[in-house]
Structures are given as structure tokens and as C-alpha cells.
Amino acid sequence: MNFHGLVANIRAVDQGARSSAARSIDRVLTLRNWLIGAYVVEYEQNGEDRAAYGDRMITELAKRLRKDGCRGLGVSNIKNCRQLALTWPGLEIRQTLSGVFASLLQGNKSGKNDSVASASSKDSDLIRQKASGESSPSDPNVSGFVVGRELSFPSLAERAAQSRTLEWQDPAWYERLFSSLSFSHLLELSRIDDPLRRAFYELECLRSGWSIRELRRQMDSMLYERVGLSKDKAAVIAMAEKGVLVDSPSTVIRDPYILEFIGVEEAAEWSESDLEQALLDHLQQFIHELGRDFCFMDRQHRITVGGRHHFIDLVFFHRSLRAVIAIDLKLGAFRHEYAGQMNFYLNYISENLSHPDENPPVGIVLCADKNAAEVHYATAGLEHEVFVSRYLVRLPSEDQLKKWLEEERFLLDRSSSETRRKDK
């Protein structure tokens, strides 16, 4: 080992320790916040003197905690903690208070695997275990919330039993959620009222590893509405029943794509190469918008047929679909000949670029606007799957998205009716 190697090794140890400590602290603080919220909810329901404080209870609580030296627990933060407990009342904690935090700091020694929907979380056994050798709390004022030596929140348990949850959202799921996501993530998710919509973002956070900034961006751009409702209703139902986001071309391809990160406005002097360059200049953000598992392969990919050169704007590979994804950029509205051009590209890719063990390639025509009926007739009957998606350089309004979703639903319903008629 030379001196540079010594520096590198010590730097790796230092960075690893800091990262591990930060994750442990974040888990502890998240659990602390849920417990604070749980105590507040329990008191609001069963506190012996709650009537004496009434609506000002949380304000008085914040003042007293500040006086007692508890930092960071102002009125708004206490309300956030309560929101956390009310949103996920099914989190089970069967330990003494000090045992909970001691367990988290010990780390996971079980070596169990976990899956998205049902397996135990990294800390699930630790959260459920019972700490030995600890005496009951000495303060008589807290005994009403403690059964024996374990924490107990009857009001939350009752709420969990009555709340509308999905079948796969069991205690192990909640434990994994709390051990994997930060308090900021959970607080953002807790503001979603619709359980199915919230479950969609919970799954995507875990599978895609979104930062809090990316989570907010995807929620602001109404990703659930763009993907979950407009593309494949069966996939949404499967998610609700099994806790698994089904990967198929119709769920992976989004419409519209929100490209506000390129920082430009639509203008007459734009060219398709300008759009392509802007996307590549912001490739990381573009891949986030495309969705997980997209891997960049090439730009202006040249194919030569009959002595003539043709160029595919962008080429990606999708790991879950096991398929090449070709993207053709168009500045104006969709025209029917674009679908035929993309099918031509996909035929070539299928024979010359895709590997034998891969699925057929998929095409995306990315354009500024489209007519749903024209897209329907232009893409029907093609050998390969060709999708036409719009792009926006600013976040769409909710009314605009609702209008597009109504168009998609109309086409989906009509397609289903035609299929049933043919089957008769």
C-alpha cells in the first residue's frame, strides 16, 4: 500500500461510516416522528384531561416540549407527525420505547430477503421483537399508553382495522416503507388522500429510488394519472390486488412526457435536432421522466437500406421489457405517415439490432400534439407496437390532463367494445 492507497482507504471508511450513520439517524427520526404522532392521536381520543386544552392542545404541547428542551417540535411539525400516524396506522411496534431505538441501531442480523409487496423489511423483526430486561416506565402519566412492557396505541389499531387498505398492505409492508423512505418522502406521500394513488407512488419510490425532489416532480406532473389510468386499467388492478407494478409497453410508455427541465419554451425556430440536443444535455432528467430501467444506447442511429441512410433520433434499451426502444422526435402535430416510418425502423431493428433472447422492439413517436382518432387508425394493425406520445415543455394543467385522459378512455372503451363484438 502506498500513501495514495492509504488516503483512499481511509476516505472510503470515513464516507461509508458517514453514510451508514446518516441512514440510521434518518430511520430513527422517522420512527420517532410516527411515535410522536401516535401519542398525539391517542391523547386526542382518550386523554383524561383533553377537554381542558381543546383546540389549543397542540399549541400548548409545542410550548411545553420547547420548555423541556425538545427541539424541532413546533406546532407544524407535531401536526406532520400526527399526519404520519393517521396515514399509516397499521405500523406495528411491539416493544418498549428504548428497545425500539436500540433495535434500529443494532442493524439487521436476520439475513432475510425482502420483496416489494410482502416480505419482511430490513428492520421488521427488530421492530416487532421484545426487549428483555427493561423495567416498565416509572412515570404514572404514561402508563395508559403502555401495555405491560410494550407500546400500545388502541385508537390507531382501531383506525387501521376500519381504514380502506389494499390486501397486500400488511404490517411487513408498512415496516419496509418506514425503513426505506425518509420522513420527507413519507410526509409528501401522506398528503395523498386516495389510497390507490398513494400506493402507486409508494411502490414507485421504492422501485425507482426517487429523491424527494423527484417524487414531488412526478406528483406535480400527475404521473399516476398519465400512466395508471390512461394506459392499462388491468395493470392498475393488478397493482391494487398484488402490490406489483406490471411492466408492459402500455404501462411503461407515458403520455404526455413533461420536459420542463430543458428550460426552454416552444418556438418556431426550434428544430428536431435542437430538441434532441436539449434532451441529451439533460439526459439524467430525461431518463427519470422516461421511467425506471431505460438505458441509453445511441443517438442518430444510422440504418442503411437499399443504399439509403436513415437515422433514428434516440435508441434506448429497457431492462424489464427486455426490448429496444426507438424514439423519433417530431416538433409539430402527429401525422399518420410517422407511424409507418417508425414501423419501418422497428422492422430493421428486429432483424439487425435486437438479440435473439430479447422481445420485439417498441417505438415512440414523440410529438407536440396528436389527434387520438388519427393515432388509432395509423397504428392499428402494425406488426410492431408503436406509441404516439406528446411532450410538454411546462407542467400541464389538471384540466388539460383530464381532457387527454377522457380521450384515452374513449378509445380504450371503443377498442374493448370492438373486441367483444368480434368475439360474438
* Residue-by-residue DSSP string for 48-88: TTHHHHGGGHHHHHHHHHHHTT-TT--HHHHHHHHHHHHH-
> Of 75, 55, 54, whose CA–CA distance to 65 is shortest?
75
Other CB atoms within a 10 A radius of the CB of residue 186 amount to 23
All three cell numbers of 16, joined, read 461509508
| Cβ neighbours for 83, distance < 8 A, ≥ 6 positions apart | 37, 187, 190, 191
pLDDT for position 301: 93
121 vs 104: CA distance, rounded Å: 12
Domain boundaries, the chain: 3-107+118-129+145-161, 257-396
Predicted local confidence at residue 86, as pLDDT: 92
Please, what is the angle between helix 3-46 and helix 154-162, to 10°?
90
Residue with cell 433472447: 357
Which residues of the chain are under the pLDDT cut of 50? 3, 96, 105, 108-149, 229-230, 267-268
Range list of H helices, 282-397: 283-290, 336-352, 372-379
Q: Bridge-partner residues for 333, per DSSP?
A: 369
In the 8-state DSSP scheme, what is residue 359? P
Indicate the fold that domain 257-396 takes in CATH.
Answer: Trna Endonuclease; Chain: A, domain 1 (3.40.1350)
Q: How many residues does the chain have?
A: 424
